[in-house]
Amino acid sequence: MSADLTIKTNYSLLNYNTFGIDAIAAGFVQLKSLDDYIALVKSDILREKPFFILGGGSNVVFSDHYEGIVVHPANKGIRLIEKQNDRCFVEANAGEVWADFVNHCIDNGWYGLENLAAIPGTVGAAPVQNVGAYGKEAKDVISRVHLIEIETGEERWVSVEDCEFGYRWSRFKGEWSNRYLIDRVVFALRDEFVPDLSYKALASALTERGIEKPTARQLADTVGEVRDSKLPNPKKTGSAGSFFKNPVVNDAVYQTIKSKYPDIVSFPVGDDRFKLAAGWMIEHCGWKGRNLGNAGVYEKQALVLVNRGGCTGRDVRNLADAIIADVQARFGLKLECEAIFV
């Protein structure tokens, strides 16, 4: 396939961000094949203006119109590339929709992604923040990630260790930000289905449905249903999912907060460290269901900020800042945004 690098100008991003913010990009280029990636990095396009790599736009908030070039990976394709005993190595291109990829794997008998079903966004973005849900993270199933260095055009594979994955974190959010384009990811899955029911709420949801030994499809569908009951559907209500990270604190900080707020929701995460539920703290500050400008705090889950209609990036910033200030004043902790302001 030969490269097609048509740059659309003054391009609306309304359908390219789940918050539904009506931002305009000065330039917008889609990458539909590996040739497009290579042609882009060999051209001067990304040297002349600032650029931002935009997958499904489900973890970003556009603060304003974007004066640079938005690069949109849209290359599709999923293939089984290797089978070693019960291990299935499946390669997926960056532009695949993550939720479709998970379904495709289940339909083909490649297991391990069920708990990560129905997360919005693309395959290429999954390693960036190490997407996680219901006791599983992308790092548990990623085998390697293929990159194209923007500055040099050099192609390379990186391992899970190279990516330095953490809670909603990887090197792609740090020193590798804007340095590489991810064009494809290889996942190490299994041809035998072993359900991961370590997350209590998921196990309870299955029990409530009378399912004792779920199939992969039943598990993924239950994950989808539980998610729908807690999170806004991006097709109906704009959001970026969980807006803030749950702070992780040491035992001393945890004990101080716990002595003042005995019912704070928290989870031990090893090494005398505790993850505190940011949603609980935000709710405790009285923000659940409240609005500021056209941005609001979701009434079913205070960790989620939503578009109340005609919301701008500034509305979201103002609301996020007000919440961060209140939580800091009350709990002495500075919440970090999980969503990225562009």
Ligand X SMILES: Cc1cc2nc3c(=O)[nH]c(=O)nc-3n(C[C@H](O)[C@H](O)[C@H](O)COP(=O)(O)OP(=O)(O)OC[C@H]3O[C@@H](n4cnc5c(N)ncnc54)[C@H](O)[C@@H]3O)c2cc1C
131 binds ligand X (CB under 6 A): yes
3-state secondary structure of 273: strand
Round to whole Å and give the CA distance between 188 and 20.
Answer: 34
Q: How far is the CB of 130 from ligand X (least distance, A)?
A: 7
Dihedral over Cα of 10, 15, 19, 21: its sign = positive
Catalytic residue flag (residue 91): no
Q: Single out the catalytic residue among 33, 58, 239, 242.
A: 242
Residues 180-219, mask of contacts with ligand X (x by CB under 6 A): -xx-------------------------------------
Round to whole Å and give the CA distance between 180 and 290.
Answer: 39
Helix residue ranges per DSSP H, the chain: 34-42, 45-48, 98-107, 126-129, 160-163, 200-208, 216-230, 251-260, 278-284, 313-331
- Applying CB under 6 A, which of residues 40, 88, 126, 158 lies at the interface with ligand X? 126
Residues 225-254, mask of contacts with ligand X (x by CB under 6 A): ------x--x----xxx-------------
CB-wise, 54 or 249, nearer to ligand X?
54
Q: How far is the CB of 61 from ligand X (least distance, A)?
A: 9
301 binds ligand X (CB under 6 A): no
Q: Single out the catalytic residue among 58, 96, 168, 171.
A: 168
Q: Contact positions toward ligand X, by CB under 6 A?
A: 18, 52-60, 73, 94, 119-122, 124-126, 128-129, 131-133, 172, 181-182, 231, 234, 239-241, 340
Which of the residues are catalytic?
A: 168, 242, 338
